[in-house]
Amino acid sequence: MSSCETAPGLNSDECLTIRERADPRRRPASRSVHPGFVIFALAMGGFAIGTTEFASMSLLPYFAAELAIDEPTAGHVISAYALGVVIGAPVIAVLAAKLARRTLLIGLMAIFAAANLLSALSPSYEWMAAFRFLSGLPHGAYFGVAALVAASLVPVNRRAQAVAHMMLGLTIATVIGVPAASWLGQVFGWRWGFALVAVLALLTVVLVALFAPRDKPDAGASPLRELGALKRGQVWLTLAIGAIGFGGLFAVYTYAASTLMDVTRVSPIFVPIVLGLFGVGLTTGNLVTAWAADRALVPTIGAVLIWSAASLALYPFAAGNIWAISIVVFLIGCGGGLATALQTRLMDVAEDAQTLAAALNHSAFNAANALGPFLGGLAIAAGYGWTSTGWVGCALALGGLAIFLISQMLERSRRPAASAIP
């Protein structure tokens, strides 16, 4: 029975509010702001985050040398950022439950700007690790809240595309922002790479303040209500699909440069070109997947997982030829559209605990970012070679597909009982 029928004293407006809160698909699009300007402002934040997340890897040799540490130790700085994302996403989502989304977005980007500026000023390895951890804290919560804001601006049949356009900032960062920050770091010093990110984050603060809708905190919001997302099995299953299924992409990407130089045997000058194709694939996959998800969300998730498994399985066979591996790397990048589809799926299964579920999606993908390279590294260390990461990635994508099928079986088994509820 619906919440309105169980509370017959409510008028129609109050009834609609309850339905909208319980089911985000019923929420009307905002007409007080121009969606394009808002999404551009939100995407700028994604551009800043994507730039620092990936450029940190290319700047690693430079800050390792200046801070007098070896590169494996410097790699802990990258891990500190990922740990900040995993911890920060759920903690901030719960503690900030009563804040208006616009206020929260501005605050998160202000913290992100300050933390990256501090990273640029780091006097030692210990301080660098601490500032990178602080930089990671706003990452997941920002993307989660930004996705909710973007989806709220458009009709329900365009939710995934709105989220995808917001996420374009992250994917374009792999094509433009990362090379720019890397070049800046190489020519003027690694500190300028992080300073550039701080400037981009401050620009985001200004744009969000100018264009984001001036919303009010949800009167019924609370940390306890957000934690309610953790009681829903479909939320956990959706997060698991991302944590496992997306790991395959990272298993290959992490070791792609080494594969290109040691197996394909290309000149180092071609490595960034091929990796740039990966970024183009991410952008293309993000847009195409979002278009399909707005028409058939659940089948799209399954199709992208199958696509990823197939393209990752091709990787070992393509590694010997520069043209073949370039095409396959692009195809693997297209599988990155899974992020947008799962973000939209969480809006459907999280019910009234939207912020926590949306933020946890990015914790799940950072878990994938840790799991994929770890398992790929084990395969390489065991003597299976650089191309073995393709088989590891394929297995992870198939693991995500298995979780997806379990999720659908469980959902179908509950439909007969749910169909009696209006």
Whether the domain at 27-221 and the domain at 228-410 fall into the same CATH topology: yes
**Helix-then-strand count for the chain, H and E:** 19, 0
Residue 22 reports pLDDT greater than 80: no
What is the per-residue pLDDT for 221?
Answer: 58
From residue 419, how far is each of 274, 292, 347 by CA, in Å?
A: 50, 26, 20
Angstrom distance (rounded) from CA 332 to CA 261: 19
Q: Map out the domains of the chain as residue ranges.
A: 27-221, 228-410
Q: What's the pTM?
A: 0.79
Top-confidence residue, 390 or 275: 390
Residues in the chain: 422
Residue 332 reports pLDDT greater than 70: yes
Instruction: State the pLDDT confidence band at 358, using cuts at 50, 70 and 90.
Output: confident
Provide CB contacts within 8 A for 70, sequence distance 6+: 64
CATH superfamily of 228-410: MFS general substrate transporter like domains (1.20.1250.20)
Own/partner pairs for 71-74, CB < 8 Å, 24+ apart? 73/125, 74/125
- The alpha carbon dihedral of 331, 399, 254, 367 has a sign of positive
- The alpha carbon dihedral of 30, 32, 36, 38 has a sign of negative
Instruction: State the pLDDT confidence band at 39, using cuts at 50, 70 and 90.
Output: very high
Backbone angles phi, psi at 183, to 5 degrees: -65, -45
Looking at residue 419, the DSSP 8-state letter turns out to be T
Using a 10 angstrom Cβ sphere, with 0-12 exposed, 13-18 middle and 19 or more buried, the burial of residue 409 is exposed
Q: Please name the residue that has the structure tokens 């006097």.
A: 123
Mean pLDDT to the nearest integer, 329-349: 91
* Range picked from 214-218, 219-223, 331-335, 369-373 for highest mean pLDDT: 331-335
* Range picked from 1-5, 51-55, 106-110, 381-385 for highest mean pLDDT: 106-110
The verdict on domain 27-221 having CATH code 3.40.50.2300 is no
